[in-house]
Structure 1
Amino acid sequence: MAINLQKGQRINLEKSNGAKLQNICVGINWGAIEKKGLFGLSKSKEAVDLDGSCALFSEQKQLQEVVYFGNLRSKDNSIRHSGDDLTGDMNGNDGLDNEVITVDFSRLDPTTNYVAFVLNSFRGHDFGTIPFASIRIYEGTPSRVNEVFATYDIASGAGFAGHVSMVMGVFYKKNGEWKFNAIGEPTRDKKLQETVNTVAQNYL
């Protein structure tokens, strides 16, 4: 049974049978921009490069590491990035995630207290101009979805127009247990490092 979170909602990562969640994925699916030609007849596609990234922080909110297209694995191998997708779906929505970041909480360094997910438009494409762009945070693997915790539709969400970066959500450890805060907020940042700084200042 999927829990479709509202923005700002917090949940415990405990399954219905009481077991603790071990593996989660953050999947991002988006499309290339369709350009209309003269008289609206001919069409071309403009590639869109969205980048999902994951920032790790200590209990003292000190940045430990960022997993992104230039660093596909965390040092402890608990977090893996599927690799950089530079175009988005060129031929319409195939329903598959273009980028997936996986987290194995059982392998995460014990000093890590926050695992934050952010999204940036590498070439500065406004989220409002992308034909479709959705995010899902779920239990499972890149090829298997067990339970969806949060979904965001950023292409048709009015609040995302005019922005090129957002904070998707933050997993945080409280009394030894992992919980999730569904943030889903656009930011004014242009670059990944700026977005990571915004997370540290406002969302931990």
Structure 2
Amino acid sequence: MAINLSKGQRISLAKDDGSKLDYIEIGVNWGAIEKKKLFGGVKHQAVDLDASIGMFDDSGKIIDIIYFGQLTSKCSSIKHSGDDRVGDTGGDDGQDNEVIQINLNKVPSNVTQLALVLNSFSQQNFGEIPFASARIHNGRAGQGEVFATFDVANDASFSGRVSMILGSVYRHGAEWKFRSIGVAVEARDLKTTLASFAQDYISA
């Protein structure tokens, strides 16, 4: 059964039998904005969100960035499914709009944190977006089970913000853990969002 994460919660990336997960997929799902028409009914406005991963060492230095402009990390341990520029226009279809595959065994030893961030490319703020969530799959999406879910919608603090730090996958001794963050930041682009993560969460 999937874990419903709350802000600040930390979980070990381990199977029910205690064995480590060596491969996970993080999927992000979101809805298009609904606007009321002048003479009744609604129209859907496409929402272009971008899920990205920043790879950091323990000093806060960025080692690599995986995003719509670079779909595979230089070390080949992380892959991005590609850019979704619309979102779900007919309500939540239960499918991830963008998926990031992470082979934890292949992440270089000098990388200690993987920051998962979400940016609104079209600058639509999170206060307008009807729903958004992140799901961790303990295997390939559609094959492995959903290990944990994290909803990031309907929070008054998101209004007016176009960038969000969803969470981080980080080393804890010999294992990997996930920390849910879910904080909207003042940054307006990927580079500045990752800088905010390094400043506020790299040693937290």
TM-score by length of 2: 0.92
Q: Match of 1:203, as an amino acid?
A: Y
Residue pairs, 1:95-110, within 5 angstroms: 95-110=94-109
Alignment match, 1:195: 193
Query: Comparing 79-88 with 136-145, which one deviates more in the overlay?
Result: 136-145
Deviation at 1:145, TM superposition (A): 4.0
Alignment match, 1:82: 81
CA–CA separation in structure 2 for the residues paired with 1:157 and 1:148: 24
CA contact (8 A) 2:33 2:45 kept: yes
Alignment CA distance shift 1:147-1:47 (3 Å): closer
Alignment match, 2:147: 148
TM-score by length of 1: 0.92
Alignment match, 1:27: 27
SS in 2 for 1:159: helix
Deviation at 1:91, TM superposition (A): 2.7
CA contact (8 A) 1:80 1:102 kept: yes
CA RMSD for the aligned pairs? 1.5
Alignment match, 1:163: 161
Deviation at 1:113, TM superposition (A): 0.8
* Runs (5+) with no aligned partner, structure 1: none
Deviation at 1:42, TM superposition (A): 4.6
CA contact (8 A) 1:31 1:132 kept: yes
CA–CA separation in structure 2 for the residues paired with 1:175 and 1:132: 35
Residue pairs, 1:109-124, within 5 angstroms: 109-124=108-123
CA–CA separation in structure 1 for the residues paired with 2:42 and 2:12: 46
CA contact (8 A) 2:152 2:182 kept: no
CA–CA separation in structure 2 for the residues paired with 1:148 and 1:158: 27
CA contact (8 A) 2:24 2:102 kept: yes
Q: Cα deviation per residue 1:84-110 (whole Å; 9 max; x = unaligned)?
A: 001112233211111011111011112
Residue pairs, 1:4-19, within 5 angstroms: 4-19=4-19
Q: Paired residues, what number?
A: 202
Query: Comparing 128-137 with 54-63, which one deviates more in the overlay?
Result: 128-137
